Structure formats: C-alpha cells, structure tokens
Structure 1
Amino acid sequence: MSVSPTEQPIGVAVVGAGYWGPNLVRNFQASPSFRLRWLCDLDVARAQRVLGGYSTVEVTGELDRVLDDPHVQAVAIATPAGTHLDVARSALRAGKHVLVEKPLAARYSDGQLLVEEADRRGLVLMCDHTYCYTPAVLRIRELLRGGALGELHYLDSVRINLGLVQRDIDVIWDLAPHDLSIMDFVLPENVRPVAVAAAGADPIGAGRSCVAYLTLRLTGGAIAHVHVNWLSPIKVRTTLIGGSKRTVVWDDVNPTQRVSVYDRGVDVAGPDELGAEQRREMLISYRSGDMVAPAMPEREALRSMVEEYATAIRTGRPPLTDGRAGLRVLEILEAASRSLAEGGALIALESALAESALTDSPSPGSPLARSPLAAGPLTGTALTEVTA
C-alpha cells in the first residue's frame, strides 16, 4: 500500500513486548503507513531491549500515558487474552482504533463488549488473524469462494508440533484459533459452522488437554475437522479442502510447493434428483486429472495484515478480519470447551440456532435441536500483567 504525500502516517502504539509484540514492532516500523510512537509493557527493560539502544520510540509501563497521547490514533495489543477486554476497551474509549492478537478475548461475552464499543464509537476493531493474510490462504479463499473447487465437501486441518505446554489454556485455545480463523476466512458466504464436538487428552498430566480433535458440522452437509497437538515430535501444518470439482492441499512447511490443486475425486453417475436408495445403486467413477501448483508470491503475512489495518482506518471499511470474525472464532472455542466438559457432546452454535429460529425450526434429530447453555468463562486466563 502506497501512502499519498498528503497523508500523514498513522501514529500507532504497541502494547506488549513479549512473544508477539516484537513482530508487530518490526512491521509497524517498516510500514510507510504508520509511525510507531510507543511500546508499552510492564517490563520496561524488556521493551527497551526490543527497540534497541538507538530507537526514538518511547517506552512506558503505563497504558494511560499511551492513551493520553493525541498523536496516537491506533493501538496494537499483544498481551495475554485475559487482559484483552480491559486494554482494548480502554483504548477504544480513548478514541483509538484497535488491533488485537488472537483470540479477540478470553470469552465470547468479552469479545461482544469490544465489538459493541467499537461500533458505538465508529472505530476499527481488527483481529490479528495473521495466517489469513498469507499468500496461500488468500489464494485458497479465492479458489473456494470463486467456485473453482465446486461445492464444499470437507475441510481437514492438522496443526501439530512439539510445542510449549501453556500454563493457562489448553491446546484448543492455543492452536485451534489459527485453523478456525482460516476456516472462517475462506468458507463461502453461504457456508457456516452449525455445531461442534471436541475430544481431548492429557497424557502427560498437565491438567489440560494437550492433544485435541474438533469436528464441525457445516451447512450443506459438509464437515470440518481440526487436529491440534503439543506433543508431536514432528511439525505438520497441512490443510485439505475437498470440493465437488477439485481439492486443494496447503502444506505450510513446504516452501517449494505450499499449495497444490488436484483435479481428482469421485463422480456419481446419474441425475441428482434421484432418491437415496436409487443413488446407492448408481455407479461411482474416479476422476484422475492434473495437479497444479500455483505460484505463490513471497510476502510476509504480518506485513499484509498491517497494511489491511491501515486501509481500514483510512477508508472506514471493516477489515477482512474484523471483530465479528473474532467473535465467530470465540463462539466455536467456547462450544468446544463445553463439548470437552460433556464428554464430546455435539454442541450447537447459538448463532446457528438464532438464524434457524428466523427461518425453519430444526428437526428433532438435527444438531441444531440441542440448545446449548451459555458457555462458562475460559478458566485460568484472568491474568493481570500487560505482557505476552
């Protein structure tokens, strides 16, 4: 994104100098659309180390100093999820646009408060769903929404590695937000999750699930599956999206061929209007066509995300990963937590229930017929330090 000579860079502050904050600092400093003015962290020495000895960016451990600065129009928050409500709401009430690291908040109700606050004040609330801005995911979104894959049949995602066992959240809340945000980003507008079931295990006695599987029912009969794991000796980042015409495979750890599109699949001979019994007797043929590996430009996803933030601020349009996208991810996470607590029960999403109530009532056997109770808060995330 080029900045017009008449446009002044947007003053921005980063809150949180832990794991993710330095990445935001680097990209805001490299962007002509922004001028980084503050880095805020309770550990001031750590923030100074992130910036180096020659930086003109100011450092503070007090959020109020940042929010009182009239030259700061935007804030980027890279702190623990349990602090997101207080920090982001304070920034919005100070008239600042807000970018929040995933997840949007520690619970759905907190995220809803942030979305309402931003709407009321006419400010941008954006989620840093970084993977959505990779060239691979942008291409997959184009293929799926443009009809190149045909009708969606399934989505299967694996995100496993020998990872850090978190102290305050389980593996679902740590890793699955990436896959759920990608799914939300690429799904066609007429396809949405309606219910989720989760299974998890804690084989090392960590006190929380370290391995987990999520199964999501989608409208139109499609299914999605997410596997997350902290205990795998190998790193796998693979997503398969199968459609009636083609299947796309995204291998994020393969730099030479991240995206492959296969013209291979199963065809059923005969008219679609036949009944189920008749269709069972019909012939199934296997299609074996070409595999195409589209060329992927090399561009850092976080750089694209930063420019999307700038565009949303300057134009007033919702960013591609706005607060409502964050809410949709939170709803699935809370439903998955409830499913774990109920032994893997299929939990209907309240948004799908509400939409169903406006149209037709679900059949007794439908997953939507099971009205979920209000999910409880995410335990263990009431952290007080503004650090990552």
Structure 2
Amino acid sequence: MSTAGHPNYGDELITRAWLDILTELRPDAEVWLDCPHPGRASHLFRRTHPNLHVTNTLWELAHSSPSHDPISDTERIARHVRDLGTPRIDPGLLALRHVTSVHLLGGGHFNDLWQDNLGIIAAVSALHREFGISARATGLGLQPLAAERGDWLREQFSVFDHVEVRDRASADAIGSEVGLDDAFLALSVLRPVYDERPSPENVVLVQGDLRAWSDIDAIRSIDDFLADAPDNEAAFVEALPPDDARYIADTRPSARFYSFGNIWFDGLPARPGQRWLTTRFHAHLLAAAAGAAGTVIAGQEGYYDHKHASLLELGTGWTVVPAGSVAEPTVDPDFPARAREHAAAKRRLAERLYPAEHRASASPGRSPMGA
C-alpha cells in the first residue's frame, strides 16, 4: 500500500525501494501494489519486480466513505472486507483474502490532512481480524492527528504484526517506538539513487503544493539564496510535477531544471559540496545523506515541522528558517556515514519482514502484498 503514481518523488522512491528489495529477496512471489493512481504507477514501476500487479482496491474502499470520517466508517469498511457487497471492487477484496501479508509503506499520507486515507488502516486491520493476514506498517508519519483519531489508530494498529513510525510526535500518538523513514531503504539497494554526473553547486527545490508561505516570501528566499550564483551553478529540482516548477520563471529562468522524469530515471543531482534550499522532506534526507549542505524553508506547522525535526534529530545539521529569509546552508559532515548506518538498519528490517527464499522453494499460491 502506498500513494504511488501521483507522481511525487519521495513516495515513488519509497515504493520502488520496497519493490527492489522484494526483487532481491522474493523474486518468485506475486506482488500487488495498491495505490491511488494504478495507471501511472504501472508505468513508473514496470521494470521493478517481475511479478508486479497494480490495483487501487483499498484506496477505492476508503475513499468511498459516505461520512469521510474514518472512525464512524470503521464498521462499513470492516463489513465490506468481510461480506463484500461492493460490486466494483469485490474482485479485488476477494483477491486480498489470498495474500500472505499487507504492508503499509511509509510517508506522510495517513493523518488529518487526508482523513479518508485513514480508512485504509481500518481495512488492513479488518483483513487481519477476519482472515488472519499479516499486517505491517513502516516509516509512517501520522501528524497532524487529533487525539481521538490517535486513540482510534492505536486500536487499529494493535493487531498489526509490525508498526514503525518515523517521528516522535507520531510515536507518541499511537504509543510506538520511533523508527526511520522508508526512503533510507533506497540507499541500501542495488539501484543508484544519485545522478553522478557533474551538477550545479546551488540547488533549489521549493514546492508549489501545500504552501505555508506567500509567493513573495518564497521568491525573496530563492533570490537571496542564489544571489551570488552564476546561472551555470544554479539549478531547480522538481519532485512533484508540475507544481515544483512554480518559482523558476520569477527567480532564475535560465537556471538548469531537473524535471521529475530526470531525477526518476537518472537520479537526484545531490553531492558533497553543494548548497541546497528546499521545503521538501525527502530532498532534505537524500541531499544531506549525499553530503550536501542545506537550508530548509519551514512549512505547514503540525506537518512539515515534525518531518524535518525527525531528520534534525538524526543529525543532518541543516538549518531551518521561515519563508522570506535565508541562512547559509549547513551540514554535519558525519551524517552521510550515519545515513549509511540507517540504510543498513532499514535493510535488516526488510529482511526480517521478508526473509529470503530459495527460488526452488517459493510457492506461487500465497503471495505477499509486498507494497
């Protein structure tokens, strides 16, 4: 289960990393990816796991809520998982009864900002209760979350075999331990994350969606950041198309532009010695892991503050400033080594959740949902 297919680089990277690890550990298993945009996702991941199927069964079930309140909708969701009665998605719900496990992949999509999405957790809980299917969740960010939904989520997660969240506020909400974001897994698989070709010294990724700042303040921060940079040493990166190209024309239209397609197929242009200005969480994580220095423009309180705080606690050494201002990018030079340790820890978790099987003994009858 993931939000793959939007596309949004962080969510796509996480999904691909889990598919890559399943290709290494379970190459003969059937893997179903349940996501809100299965058409786009099928193109993005067509060269990952050899037995990948893409659907949107549980997303449809959750998003068809008449109340748009996951707590009051819990019984409806459980009833359909148990008894069917939804002709459009019954075939998908029947298929779910034959999977070995369902895995909620990490990201910040289960919270009060997208309340309908929480119904997916109720559906996975019902699958475990009714059919004994193993339920896992890794790298989740659950904030912002009202107290009553935190209590409800704690009950839903109580039947899961494994639950991991990536930040302290999310852990406090459901009574779990703090783990790591799933993007660290991408640093442990064979597929390269970074574009190793020469790249500009100054990189900007100021998002165009979920803005908690005025355009004037964003432009001021970007202009100040690039003030001394010649055009050939300035670049913009797009994680979510087309929104993340919002500020190029108003700031440095002649700068190099790395589209989503560029970074998806060729890798993120992050390296030691660079300076980054960003609002996005996964740009912070991956560029710091590459050894780049960075400044973060603070985003929506209750959402982005928890995300970036989790990385600051891990020791990226980056600086956070309000929109409209700028500070010289900073970095902890030891973070790339720590990031490799976090990646190794995430891989060990993946290997515990999906122990490697010999190809000759793999069974095609029961298959992991995987992602």
TM-score range, shorter chain: 0.3 to 0.5
Structure number with the higher strand fraction is 1
Q: TM-score, normalised by structure 1?
A: 0.38
Q: TM-score, normalised by structure 2?
A: 0.39
Q: Which has the larger radius of gyration?
A: 1
